[in-house]
Amino acid sequence: MRQMGSGRFTSGTMAVAWGSPWQAQIWMAARRTLIAAGAGLALAGLGGGLWWGFHHGSPAAVPTGAPLRQHRAQGPARALPHPTGAGILMPVTGTVAAGFGWQYSTALNQWYYNPGITIAAPAGRPVRAAWAGRVAGVTDTGPLGTQVVVDDGDGVRTVYGHLGRVDVHAGEAVRQGQVLGTVGGASLYSRQQRPHLDFGIYYGSTASNPLAYLHPSS
């Protein structure tokens, strides 16, 4: 994690203290609803001493130590090791609609922190495993709608949210590039925007910028 100036955080790695990466993914969808409620909202206590604040305006306007902080994490941050020289694959062909880190919503006139990337793609387009591993979970009850988490066994997890169809099951071994499902979540949160995939990559509980680990072909 890198900090610049008064409470601004750059792209790269970001420590989060949630117990599981899909809890962090819940944030990725919840932010769309919470930022609309106005300045000063806080999302508190999801599984381990982390709370988020929202500020109407630039993140630079939030001084370090102010009541509304961008994040608080327990324990040292761990940098995400590059899985291999091969890199990860972009999970779906589309356009990166929102990158990692601080993003500005012109529609809502608000800043928010994105712990992954949001990829706009047509409903029904295949979503592929960015990195090989075993399916650690398939859920469809959270704000992200249907999501899949893949664990590579060495601490790296990739998370895929707002799926329309799922073609894998918990415990299944998946290879890099294997189809996990399709874009097109049917939940209320998934339908708030055009079809898209929320994609995250984590080392333990540390969220990192997926774009920093892409294979050159992606």
Which tens digits make up the pLDDT trace of 1-43?
Answer: 333 333 333 334 444 333 444 444 444 444 444 433 333 333 3
Task: Specify if 117 maps to a domain.
Answer: yes
What end-to-end distance do the CA atoms of the chain give, in Å? 25
Domain membership of residue 38 (yes or no) is yes
| pLDDT tens figures, 42-56 | 333 333 222 222 222
pLDDT of residue 197: 93
Distances (CA, A) of 185 to 39, 76, 190: 28, 35, 5
Low-confidence spans in the chain with pLDDT less than 70: 1-86, 107-108, 143, 186-192, 218
Nearest to 116 by CA among 7, 218, 196: 196
pLDDT of residue 18: 39
So what's the pLDDT on residue 76? 32
Residue 148 in any domain: the answer is yes
Considering the domain boundaries, does residue 95 fall inside one? yes
Is residue 218 situated within a structural domain? no
Instruction: Measure the CA–CA gap between 17 and 140, rounded to whole angstroms.
Output: 23
Number of domains into which the chain is organized? 1
The answer to whether position 109 is within a domain reads yes
**Confidence (pLDDT) at 130:** 97
Report pLDDT for 99: 87
pLDDT of residue 106: 76
CATH number of domain containing 40: 2.70.70.10
Q: State the Cα–Cα distance between residues 25 and 116, nearest whole angstrom.
A: 8
Backbone conformation region of residue 175, classed left if phi is above 0, alpha if psi is from -120 to 50, else beta: beta
56: in domain: yes
Domain presence at residue 167: yes
**45, 161, 187, 214 from 8: Cα distances, Å:** 22, 26, 32, 25
* Residue 5 three-state SS: coil
Range of the domain at 101: 3-213
Query: What is the per-residue pLDDT for 45?
Result: 32
